[in-house]
Structure 1
Amino acid sequence: MFSLDKLIRNNIKGLSPYSSARDEFSGEAKVFLDANENSLGSPLNKWYNRYPDPHQVKLKAAISQVKAVNTDRIFLGNGSDECIDLLYRCFCQPGKDNVIICPPTYGMYQVSAEINDVAIKKATLLDNYQLDLVHLENLVDENTKIIWLCSPNNPTGNCLNREDIEMVLNNFNGLVVVDEAYINFARQRSWVQELQEYPNLVVLQTFSKAWGLAGLRLGMAFASPEIVEVMDRVKPPYNINQVTQELALQALEEVGQVNDMIRLLVDMRDALAEVLVQLPNVEKVYPSDANFLLVKMKDARGIYNKLLEQGIVVRDRSNVKLCEDCLRITIGTEQENTTLVDALNNLN
């Protein structure tokens, strides 16, 4: 049986979170003399001399409406990377516990584990980029605290089979983190709506991809209220700055425009895939549920360098297991995609 209490690190159980000045009163106020801010303002014509809301109340309320999930199930991080790091710090004992990743996958799961002195076990994906459930199950021991699943996966672009994720959720007593950074570009529905059924489920999403706000660094973690409470206890008090909160609120009022961009990017993704697969240097274009394509090429490293000489930057994944001779290509604007194709044609 899943027990959150058994997962939380002992030092976190007894942790008293930092109490910011804004936490120590309730209601409205007119004069703020509690936080040692510069009361004369700032060089900007905004109230950026004041600390931001440490609980992001308005922003979470807006996200709640869009995602159809209660605010007490929402945690906001300085990018998804902060959410990843906090999950290690809250639930993994350094030098003792381990987690499982399924490479090829997003590299920050391993980097954060190494920073936090948490052992990594690897259940490499099958050749079709799906979970190897037998290998994964055999890796689990009493000190395995988190299984990281990226779906749609980066760098392969595909969604993991839903039935396989359900199998992991139903048979693992630790946390199962499903990273859905690219879910808006996929046909598969989000796992956010399954939170009540699975108390060990954490879903990561981001404003960096479909919302086009990578520069703001705003990530979302959706989980049980109990898991969110633990993460809130450990996070820095003002981890989401005022500018990010304001601009994200504005973006959430433009859901229609975002959906239009998603449809356009998906159409351009499919069109680019059809063109690339016909090029002589292209051996395979893998199916994608994301805003990028994984493309197997003849001499991928050489093509990468030749594109770079023309000012075109893609991602060389040739040295990644199961992605040998592959380039990861983000879907650009229509003009950028045309420039890429022209450059590839001129290599022949």
Structure 2
Amino acid sequence: MFNLEAITRKNIWNLKAYSSARDEFQGKAEVYLDANENPFGNLNRYPDPYQRSVKERLSVLKGLPVNQVFIGNGSDEVIDLCLRIFCEPGKEKALTFVPTYGMYQVSAAINDIELLELPLTDDFDIDLELVQPYLTDASLKVIFLCSPNNPTGNCLSVERIASIAKAFRGVVLVDEAYIDFSTQTSWTEQLAAYPNLIISQTFSKAWGMAAARVGVAYASSEIIGLFNKVKPPYNISSLNQQAVLTSLDALELYERNKAKVLNEREVLLRELPTIGLVKKIYPTETNFILVEMLDADTVYEQLVARGIIIRNRSSLIANCLRISVGTQQENKQLINALKALSERLVTE
């Protein structure tokens, strides 16, 4: 049985959280003389430390109680908090499957946590036989699963994620940064069945708010309570909270823009196979496409010379480039450049 106290670092479990001025008084007042703020200026007041208005809106949108919602400074803060709360530095471990999002490794290194990296299968899915021996390791506290996965673009098997969440006594973070582009149902709908599950999402991708750096975690109220205890008091600015609320007021625009991205993704998926340099196109449930090239390094360098920047992922997956879906004009420019480059290299 999952026991949250047993897997939480003792100093964190016993931590008395910092109490800010906005913790001690909530509501509206005429005179604020409690937080040593400058009485002058347009941004002189501290933001709501618990982003209540944003959480209330997300609570309705996701069908979850407010106390099961956490707002982070990007989803990277959620990743970092998982390691800080549950893993003893220099002693305990986290695990993920590679290739995947690089911040799991960076955050683990910063927190002095050993990150076990198991290879995905040939079709980029979880290898249950490979991970099985680790699930009973008492020193393993956190498992990171990115679905849809970056940089591969595919969703991990629902059944395999469920098998891990059921068998593991630590916490399982399912990183759903790209879930809005996917046909797969979010794991937020399974929180009641798996008390050790944490779902991270972001406003950086489908919501088009990468500059605002706002991430979200959904989990049990007990886990969210630990997140709130450890996070900095004012981790999300008033400007960014308002930006999120403005976006949530424009759901039709969000849906239209997402539909444009998905339509342009289909255009790229039709055009890319016609290019001679393209060897393989991997299935995608995201706003990017992983493409195997005959010579990825050369293609990448030639595109950079033409002012077109994509991501060279050859260090993770041999000869692979990751192409983000852009506007219609940007995608045409990319395809035309690839066709011209293909013709030139073939004639040479």
| TM-score above 0.5 | yes
Q: CA deviation at 1:26?
A: 4.1
Distance 1:167 1:139 in 2: 13
Residue matched to 1:338: 332
Residue matched to 2:156: 160
Q: Where does 1:19-168 land on structure 2 (aligned, <5 Å)?
A: 19-40=19-40, 42=41, 46=42, 48-140=43-135, 141-168=137-164
Q: Deviations over 1:260-285 (max 9, x none)?
A: 21122111112101110121000011
Residue matched to 1:3: 3
Matched, 1:255 2:259: no
Distance 1:25 1:325 in 2: 57
Q: Which residue identity is paired with 1:337?
A: N
Q: Which residue identity is paired with 2:109?
A: E
Q: Which residue identity is paired with 1:325?
A: N
Residue matched to 2:18: 18
Q: Deviations over 1:17-53 (max 9, x none)?
A: 111011112443110001111102x2xxx3x100000
Q: 1:324 aligns with which of 312, 318, 339?
A: 318
Q: Which residue identity is paired with 1:15?
A: L
Report the 3-state secondary structure (helix = DSSP H, G, I; strand = E; otherwise coil) of the residue aligned with 1:346.
Answer: helix
Matched, 1:278 2:301: no
Residue matched to 1:184: 180
Q: CA deviation at 1:156?
A: 0.3
Residue matched to 2:346: none
Distance 1:143 1:165 in 2: 20
- Superposition misfits of 4+ residues, deviation over 3 angstroms: none
Tell me: CA distance 1:16–1:51, structure 2 relative to 1, closer, same or farther (3 Å).
same
Q: CA deviation at 1:151?
A: 0.2
| Identity between Structure 1 and Structure 2 (%) | 48
Residue matched to 1:238: 234
Are 1:73 and 1:224, in contact at CA under 8 Å, matched by a contact in 2? yes
TM-score (norm 2): 0.97
Q: Deviations over 1:75-127 (max 9, x none)?
A: 11000001110111111100111011100000000100010011111121001
Q: CA deviation at 1:257?
A: 1.3
Tell me: CA distance 1:71–1:132, structure 2 relative to 1, closer, same or farther (3 Å).
same
Residue matched to 1:294: 290
Q: CA deviation at 1:138?
A: 2.1
Q: Which residue identity is paired with 2:244?
A: A
Distance 1:26 1:341 in 2: 54
Are 1:314 and 1:329, in contact at CA under 8 Å, matched by a contact in 2? yes
Are 1:123 and 1:139, in contact at CA under 8 Å, matched by a contact in 2? no
Distance 1:292 1:263 in 2: 14
Are 1:100 and 1:144, in contact at CA under 8 Å, matched by a contact in 2? yes
Q: CA deviation at 1:14?
A: 1.3
Distance 1:254 1:137 in 2: 44
Distance 1:342 1:27 in 2: 57
Q: CA deviation at 1:139?
A: 2.9
Aligned residues: 341
Structure 1 unaligned regions, length at least 5: none
Matched, 1:217 2:213: yes
Q: Deviations over 1:44-65 (max 9, x none)?
A: xx3x100000011111101111
Q: CA deviation at 1:318?
A: 0.5
